Amino acid sequence: MKAALQAYVDLINAGDADGVTALFAPDAVIEDPIGSEPRSGPAIAAWFADTVAYQTRITPVAPHRGSHADEALLIFDVEFTPPGGQRLRIRSADACRFDEEGRIISLRAFWGPDDIQPA
């Protein structure tokens, strides 16, 4: 699980939307941030295409955390530039659940309005 989280960081930082999308199971769900409309299926690929287009960079701020079950946590800062906007930083923690094949089946991002600031 920790290796998959590191691959997630590395692939986003490399601008590899297809590689990131491949880390997810076909029936995966992303809720980023928690409380927003969940994304699944083709919406996940579109999400990561936008992630790459926004020149996203992820910087872990703590070691990846695993569990004795099927979940792990990535604690990080993410910087990106939305269309027509200024570069932003969000302090986030992504809780991921994995299937038996090591693919992400659920990603829930913990951040709110007070976690966003100019980069």
Instruction: Record the tokens describing residue 98, joined without a space.
Output: 């994995």
Give the tens place of pLDDT for each residue, 72-115: 999 999 999 999 999 999 999 999 999 999 999 999 999 999 99
| Model pTM score | 0.96
Give yes or no for a contact between 59 and 80, defined as CB atoms under 8 angstroms apart: no
Give the tens place of pLDDT for each residue, 27-77: 999 999 999 999 999 999 999 999 999 999 999 999 999 999 999 999 999
Which is catalytic among the residues 27, 32, 94, 99? 32
List the chain domain ranges: 2-111
d(CA 81, CA 69): 35
CATH architecture, domain 2-111: Roll (3.10)
d(CA 75, CA 110): 9
Known catalytic residue at 114: no
DSSP state of 3: H
Known catalytic residue at 54: no
